[in-house]
Amino acid sequence: MLANSHDLMDRDSLIHQQTNLADHRENGGTIMARGEGIWVYDETGKKYLEAMAGLWCASLGFSEKRLAEVAYKQMLELPYYHTFFGKGNVQAVELAAKLLSIAPVPMSKVLFQCSGSEANDTAIKLVWYYHNAIGKPEKKKIIGRIRGYHGNTIAAVSVSGQPHMHTDFDAPLSLFKHTDHPHYYRFHLEGETEEAFATRMAENLEKLILAEGPETVGAFFAEPVQGGGGALPPPATYFEKIQAVLKKYDILFLADEVICGFGRTGEMWGSTTYGLKPDMLSCAKALSASYQPISALMISEKIDQALVAQSAKLGTFGHGYTYGGHPVACAVALETLKIYEERDIVGHVKRVSKPFLDGLMALKDHPLVGDVRGIGLVAGVELMADKVSRTPFAPEQKIAVRVMDACAEHGLIVRAIMDRIAFTPPLIITEAEVEELLVRFKKALDQVWDGLKV
Ligand SMILES: Cc1ncc(COP(=O)(O)O)c(C=O)c1O
């Protein structure tokens, strides 16, 4: 007999994250029971093509036995050891070296955490620590982007620009500022090219920096391709122009590769795809194919040097997490990276990207679709009420949620973000499975369109 009488399958025991809790209480949700390749099965046995790889993360799908075996072996050998007080474990040391060897730009050191949020939170702390160390203690403000997403710890959510994650959580904290959402299709002016739009974005960033005072701005955070902002690749020349502004005012740049890292954009890093030269880089998700919770923050040499100097002065580098560099998570990540290399996952993404993007682009003719934008195996489909005037659907029509729900009916998991439908299938998706994804998506679009006509 249990100490209290909670039914173990009581559907109200769990708070579901990023969920309308009242609605969920009324209507319930979907509980997954098992996975096979890029497919998942719910507890009723219904099968879904997981076109979001869970939360943009299960890069090797849901049944990679090698990762389970490595985790088991590591648990038998050394199930836990920390990285505090000069100690460590072999797997953490090896993984750090491996990450530095494949970094998109020269990086000096790696810090481990358990989530993307914590990696970005650590980066924020290091922006502050670094500027204290180099004698610029006033350079503490951090600029993110409207609709940017960097996580949910209090600092990571503050640099994020997601209004629904700020409201009533008393976020963002006051040192965090936000510049434009570089969503060309939605926000370009009549006749404005992508390049001109990117110039305007960079000019607005510069205006914000000048308004705040360049001597008070410490860092800028951006994802190469925005995830939570709508699976949205940047406009042409955007990062080139943004980075020039950051350089001009001596502002650190963090590339958030939590979604883009490890092949998603058709290169190992989104930074390579878009020519980013970050001072820090955060990654997670596909680092372990999400079979274990782990994230990494890579830092450049100048930041590393400041950490060393400051810890010598203060007596220690006063930062760390119990599970940062967990040997089981690191072993799984090392095996994941080995699998990527053995199977040439980047080459595979490049190959399947074409049918994936071509197939989605072909849907631009669909009456519900205004725009399609993607790269590698990440894409967003923008739904639009009037394509000519670029007038969106009224929010109460919940058009993207309707399409997402129709997709689920057809056994396809996608994500609705504002008026966009996001796709980030597991990186192992085959051409035949891409075809299946497109067929199911088209059926869902047609179903919603037919529903609107009656
Ligand atoms: C770009 C980006 N950064 C950070 C995070 C936060 O990662 P986590 O949920 O592991 O804390 C996410 C999560 O989706 C993300 O998309």
> Ligand 1: distance of its center to the CA of 285 in Å?
8
Q: Are residues 161 and 251 in the same domain?
A: yes
Q: Is 34 inside a domain boundary?
A: yes
pLDDT for 453 equals 82
Tell me the three state secondary structure of residue 311.
Answer: helix
> Ligand 1: distance of its center to the CA of 431 in Å?
28
322's CB contacts (< 8 A; 6+ apart) are: 82
Q: Are residues 237 and 296 in the same domain?
A: yes
Q: Does residue 287 have its Cβ closer than 6 Å to ligand 1?
A: no
Answer for the pair 363, 441: CB distance below 8 angstroms, yes or no: yes
> Ligand 1: distance of its center to the CA of 113 in Å?
12
Q: Strand order of the sheet with strand 32-36?
A: 32-36, 39-42, 47-50, 412-413
> Ligand 1: distance of its center to the CA of 112 in Å?
15
How many domains is the chain built from? 2
The domain that holds 287 is classified in CATH as 3.40.640.10
Q: Stretch 398-413: mean pLDDT, rounded?
A: 98
Q: pTM for the whole thing?
A: 0.97
> Ligand 1: distance of its center to the CA of 57 in Å?
10
Q: Does residue 230 have its Cβ closer than 6 Å to ligand 1?
A: no
Q: Are residues 204 and 276 in the same domain?
A: yes
Answer for the pair 380, 422: CB distance below 8 angstroms, yes or no: yes
Q: Are residues 419 and 284 in the same domain?
A: no
Q: Tell me the pLDDT tens digit for each residue of 16-58.
A: 999 999 999 898 899 999 999 999 999 999 999 999 999 999 9
Q: Does residue 256 have its Cβ closer than 6 Å to ligand 1?
A: yes
Q: Stretch 97-105: mean pLDDT, rounded?
A: 98
* C-alpha span between 52 and 58 (Å, rounded): 8
Q: Are residues 59 and 72 in the same domain?
A: no
Q: Does residue 160 have its Cβ closer than 6 Å to ligand 1?
A: no
**Triad 445, 233, 244: Cα angle to 5°:** 160
Q: Is 13 inside a domain boundary?
A: no
Tokens 């689920």 belong to residue: 408
Answer for the pair 419, 229: CB distance below 8 angstroms, yes or no: no
Which atom of ligand 1 has the smallest separation from the CA of 117?
11
% the chain with pLDDT above 90: 96
End-of-domain residue from the set 342, 372, 390: 342
Q: Tell me the pLDDT tens digit for each residue of 342-353.
A: 999 999 999 999
The domain that holds 386 is classified in CATH as 3.90.1150.10
Q: How many CB atoms lie within 10 A of CB 176?
A: 20
Q: Please report how many Cα atoms fall inside a 13 Å half-sphere around the Cα of residue 181, on the Cβ side.
A: 19
* pLDDT band with cut points at 50, 70 and 90 for residue 5: low
* C-alpha span between 105 and 133 (Å, rounded): 23
End-of-domain residue from the set 342, 377, 396: 342
The H or E element containing residue 207 is helix 194-212
Q: Is 7 inside a domain boundary?
A: no
Q: Is 144 inside a domain boundary?
A: yes
End-of-domain residue from the set 342, 363, 387: 342
Tokens 């994802």 belong to residue: 223
* pLDDT band with cut points at 50, 70 and 90 for residue 454: confident
Domain extent for 146: 68-342
Q: Does residue 54 have its Cβ closer than 6 Å to ligand 1?
A: no
Q: Are residues 81 and 198 in the same domain?
A: yes
Q: Strand order of the sheet with strand 280-283?
A: 109-113, 295-299, 280-283, 252-256, 217-222, 141-145, 176-179
pLDDT for 12 equals 75
Q: Are residues 390 and 320 in the same domain?
A: no
The answer, yes or no, to whether residue 387 has pLDDT greater than 50, is: yes
Q: Are residues 33 and 56 in the same domain?
A: yes
Strands 47-50 and 412-413: parallel
Q: Does residue 151 have its Cβ closer than 6 Å to ligand 1?
A: yes
Q: Does residue 116 have its Cβ closer than 6 Å to ligand 1?
A: yes
Angle between helices 327-342 and 90-102 (to 10 degrees): 40
181's CB contacts (< 8 A; 6+ apart) are: 145, 146, 147, 148, 161, 187, 226, 229
Q: Does residue 383 have its Cβ closer than 6 Å to ligand 1?
A: no
Q: Are residues 28 and 150 in the same domain?
A: no
Q: Stretch 231-254: mean pLDDT, rounded?
A: 98
